[in-house]
A and B are shown apart, each in its own frame.
Chain A
Amino acid sequence: MSSVHVNRIIDRHGAERASLIPVLQDIQDDYNWISEPHLRQVADRLGLPLSEVYGVASFYRALSLEPRGKTLIRVCKGTACHVRGAQLIQEELERQLGIQAGGTTEDMAYTLEVVNCVGACGMAPVVIVGDKYFPGVKPHRAKKLVQTERDEE
């Protein structure tokens, strides 16, 4: 069964090799991850070997081959953020969400990820919730980040 939505994404970019990355990005945006059937559909329609499409999809950090939660929480653990206590923030978020870094909550609401430098070292330590950047985060505020998000739901 091929997905109508994925077909539409492919039609929008054109069923050709050069469309591979924009197509994968759009699938990622719309579903928060790229499932195996979707990846196969892309390979089929663009006429590319599955091995190649899988290679590309597994290379980029922005693309996920595992289900991701609705909101992605990224804790920066680059050098600047690390020395300003990112480890404690990570641990606090892991406790709050009940998952390990890299994991997704059971209700598919959150995925917690550790990243290395997001180019905002002056604001270290940085946490990014969805597309909002939070500068100078303190561990006790890390707790609040999740709570505010939850309240906004």
Chain B
Amino acid sequence: MQLTIDDKQVTAEQGQTLLEVARAHDIPIPTLCYHESLEARGSCRLCLVEIRKPKWPGWKRLVASCVYPAEEGLEVRTATEEIVGIRKTLIDLLLARCPKNPEIVELARAYGIEQTSYAVLDATRQCILCGQCVRVCEDIIGASAIGMYGRGAGKKVGPAYGKAAETCIGCGACAFVCPTRCIQVIDEGLTRRIPRWNVEFELVPCRICGKPVSTRKHIDFVRGRVSAGPEVLETCSDCLRAYYGAKVAAEGHM
């Protein structure tokens, strides 16, 4: 199907969201709560765009592009004055929540905001409660080690009772998707710590080079789900690549 984004003619496939179409055509739209590996939830509203339909003159709507499906003939605008104004307000509010988070500070600067115009309640906060860590842990990893707790202004993300995340396997996926990079995964020697979830793990060294592969708990978790032995699971990706590369070179197949 055909539609326009910022007056540029673009092609989209059925089922694609406006954000996906824009990204496929290198049209930038800012996002915070979107990650391509997770189902979009449309919670941060930063990705908002304006849509118009030629058959309905004068009609327009502001929608979250990460959840809005592409439609034939849609006219999309990603950065009108109105949109930029709303984005600035959103970013200003996020900055009031996390005034010292480098990612948020950088985003604010890009929109010309040096300081928030709202009251800062706690300058140490780093989390914007987007819930991506919770979703990746539940939907992709299947560990459900962390959750969203409480409600309203007191809402938090973390393990139940603020204790250690018992079912956490230390995979680090939550840290990987966190848009404010506020989940630290600290590897020291053969120990991995994720202080935010109060957990500590033993790391397994690669059978070939000795570089840590992942946590013992992660490897055991994966072993229960796939038919691969320790020679694969306990070898780091670099050594695996080298091994299979050599095998293919010598035998012509894996």
Contact surface of A with B, Cβ cutoff 8 Å:
36, 39, 49-55, 58-59
Are B160 and A51 in touch, CB under 8 angstroms?
yes
- Chain A residues whose C-beta falls within 8 Å of the C-beta of B149 in the assembled complex: 54-55, 58-59
- Residues B166 and A55 in contact, CB atoms below 8 Å apart: no
| Complex Cα spacing A73 to B96, Å | 35
**CB-CB contacts of B152-163 with A at 8 A, as 1s and 0s?**
000000011100
Q: A51-B144, A51-B145, A52-B144 are in contact. Are A58 and B150 (CB under 8 A)?
A: yes
The closest CB in chain A to the CB of B152 belongs to A59
* Cβ 8 A contact of A55, one of B145, B148, B165, B167: B148
CB contacts under 8 Å to A, within B139-184, are 144-151, 159-161, 165-167
B218 vs chain A, min Cβ distance (A): 17
Cross-chain contact A54 with B151 (CB below 8 angstroms): no
Q: Are A54 and B145 in contact (CB under 8 A)?
A: no
A52–B137 alpha-carbon span in the complex (Å): 12
The answer to whether A54 and B161 touch (CB under 8 A), given A59-B150, A59-B151, is yes
Chain B residues lying within 8 Å of A53, measured Cβ to Cβ, are: 160
Q: Is the beta-carbon distance between A52 and B147 smaller than 8 angstroms?
A: yes
Contacts of A50 in B (CB 8 A): 160, 166-167
In the complex, what distance in Å separates the CA atom of A66 from the CA atom of B167?
Answer: 24
* Beta-carbon nearest neighbor of A51 in chain B: B147
**How many angstroms between the C-alpha atoms of A49 and B144 in the bound complex?**
6
* A-B residue pairs in contact (CB < 8 Å), sample of 15: A49-B144, A50-B160, A50-B166, A51-B134, A51-B160, A51-B165, A53-B160, A54-B147, A54-B149, A54-B161, A55-B148, A55-B149, A58-B149, A59-B150, A59-B151
Tell me whether A51 and B150 are in contact (CB under 8 A). Answer: no
The complex places the Cα of A50 from the Cα of B149 at a distance, in Å, of 12
Check B145 against A36 for contact (C-beta < 8 Å). Answer: no
Within 8 Å CB of A55, what residues of B?
147-149
Residue of A nearest to B143 (CB): A49
A78 CB to nearest B CB, Å: 15
How long is the Cα–Cα vector from A39 to B161 in the complex, in angstroms?
11
A63 to chain B, nearest CB (A): 11
* Nearest residue, chain A, Cβ from B163: A36
Bound-complex Cα distance A53 to B159 (A) = 11
Chain A residue numbers with a CB within 8 Å of B138 are: 49
Q: Which residue of B lies closest to A48 (CB)?
A: B144
Per the bound structure, the CA–CA distance linking A142 and B110 in Å amounts to 55
